[in-house]
Amino acid sequence: MLTIRKAAERGHFKNQWLDSHHSFSFGDYYDPKHMGLSVLRVINDDRVIAGAGFPTHPHNNMEIVSYVLEGELAHRDSMGNGSVIRKGDVQRMSAGTGVTHSEYNPSTTEGTHFLQIWLLPTQRNIQPSYAQAYFSEADKASGWRLLVSPTGAEGSLATNTEALFYATVVANNVERSYSLAADRLGYLFVASGSIDLEGETLSAGDGAAISADSSFKVLGKATAEVLLFDLPV
């Protein structure tokens, strides 16, 4: 069974430098019907203007994944990490016992569009850590590409979570299928483009919760980048 969440139904926050849409309750946006799904707690669809960003702030006991769609995102944290991630890069920070970090758009002319994803940790109060990796368009166009997993399987980022996080790119009329186990449910999010999901048209920003023990097919309508979270029941 599918439960569709259209882009326009999401929470919205906007100020002078940030335009953010929230698939689940976050900050001042609260909806008791949309508090997350399983260990997936946050999908924030963020656009940051040139030269601006999130000042240094703390986190603890959360797995935070950044997924860049356009532009660049500069990261600095209290563990001593500093990097700039771009389209195709996936960044994972295990906040554990506590970490502070900042994220900003280093460009003086171009905006940044990225997804901020929070996953509940399997173990609490672990030592904070950081990792990032690049996944090419060609790699994602070949099938469901595993980006994040508990064990780092298939070259994914090993993360303190029970979630499996995949991405794929589907061109027009390209089909991609997936089956969820009896003890796993899914959340699908369209990052860009347009797809048909079991007869439902989904476009950028749309999401769908998928019940456990289900099989489904994604069909590209306009070249689309699609994210899939395989989650414990």
CA distances (Å), origin 101, targets 15, 41, 59, 94: 20, 19, 8, 12
- Asked whether the beta carbons of 62 and 118 are under 8 A apart, the reply is yes
What is the structure's pLDDT at 1? 82
Dump pLDDT digits (tens) for 175-196: 999 999 999 999 999 999 999 9
What is the structure's pLDDT at 207? 98
Residues of the chain with pLDDT under 70: none
Total domain count for the chain?
Answer: 1
Q: Which residue has the tokens 């994220």?
A: 103
Euclidean distance between CA atoms 157 and 138, whole angstroms: 18
The DSSP code for 46 is E
The pTM for the full model equals: 0.97
The domain that holds 37 is classified in CATH as 2.60.120.10
Q: Which residues partner with 184 through β-bridges?
A: 232
Mean pLDDT across the chain, nearest whole number?
96
Q: Which residues contact 66 (CB under 8 A, 6 or more apart)?
A: 73, 75, 85, 90, 91, 93, 103, 114, 115, 116, 117
What is the structure's pLDDT at 91? 96
Query: In terms of residue numbers, what domain contains 124?
Result: 2-232
- Asked whether the beta carbons of 17 and 223 are under 8 A apart, the reply is no
Q: Which residue has the tokens 């990052």?
A: 191
- Asked whether the beta carbons of 35 and 50 are under 8 A apart, the reply is no
Nearest 10 degrees: CA dihedral of 212, 215, 221, 223?
80
CA 105 remoteness from chain centre = 18
- Asked whether the beta carbons of 5 and 20 are under 8 A apart, the reply is no
Euclidean distance between CA atoms 185 and 151, whole angstroms: 19
